[in-house]
Amino acid sequence: MRIFSPLSLLGVLALGLAAAEPVPGAAAGPYTQEQFVAAVGSDLSSHFNLEGELQLELLRPWSAPERAAQSWQVEITEYPAAPASSMMVRCRVRADGALGAEQTLVLRAALWRDAWYARQPLTNGIHFDPALLDARRTDFLRERDALPATAGDGSYDFARGVLAGRLLGWRDVARRPLVRKGEVVDVSASDGLLTVNLKALALQNGARGETITVRNPDSKKDFSAFVIDENRVQVRF
């Protein structure tokens, strides 16, 4: 029987926490498959710091614990190396603090988030503009390079042409360079109370925060510097 839990991440977390805390005066009850899947999803989401709605499907039959309990907890004893569409997980269940048998789960997983799709053809070099895009629900475990709809701003340009309707990936965008190869830039360098300012030739393009190589035109020596603004770099010691 195919069981697919459509719970949102918040719902998963809520169920996972509820399963771990006994309710005073509550009657003992059985542990359902829905509660079990929710608790496993909560643990995986927390362990891998996942963003989005994690959905899990058990690919092998699951046997519910025979006993009833007020408090249920799932302990994952062996995680996969990384989240994936297909995962194997080892875990065990606690019933009112008592440990049960360890189980091996084979899971099919999906991580749903909104991602950017091109609403119209996009040209290499134009500025990133959400008005040119659509946000659509996407499985990030299958589309690992997908550009989340929470990412992208005015500091980005489109790095290559994109056809209308296509999913955008991180390789389709790049931060707009504040320094361009061949331009003369202002360099500042500080060491304690000593500050030196000079001109240098940029040997690479660079966006804010990136490290590029520049050349002292007098000594002809190359050195690395951080891009801090338009045609401005800084040497950090």
Question: Taking the domains of the chain in order of start, what are their residue ranges?
Answer: 9-111, 112-175, 184-235
Go through the chain and tell me how many residues it has: 237
- 8 A C-beta contact, residue 114 and residue 135: yes
**CATH number assigned to the domain with residue range 112-175, chosen from the 4 options 2.60.40, 3.90.1210, 3.40.640, 3.90.550:** 3.90.1210
Band the pLDDT of 16: cuts 50, 70, 90. very low
Q: How far is CA 48 from the centre of its chain?
A: 9
- What's the pLDDT tens digit per position in 52-98? 999 999 999 988 888 889 999 999 999 999 999 999 999 999 999 88
Architecture of domain 184-235: Roll (2.30)
Backbone phi and psi for residue 191, each to the nearest 5 degrees, phi listed first: -145, 100
- What number is the average pLDDT over the span 121-126? 94
- Calculate the alpha carbon distances from 133 to 14, 156, 167 in Å: 33, 14, 10
Backbone phi and psi for residue 27, each to the nearest 5 degrees, phi listed first: -75, 150
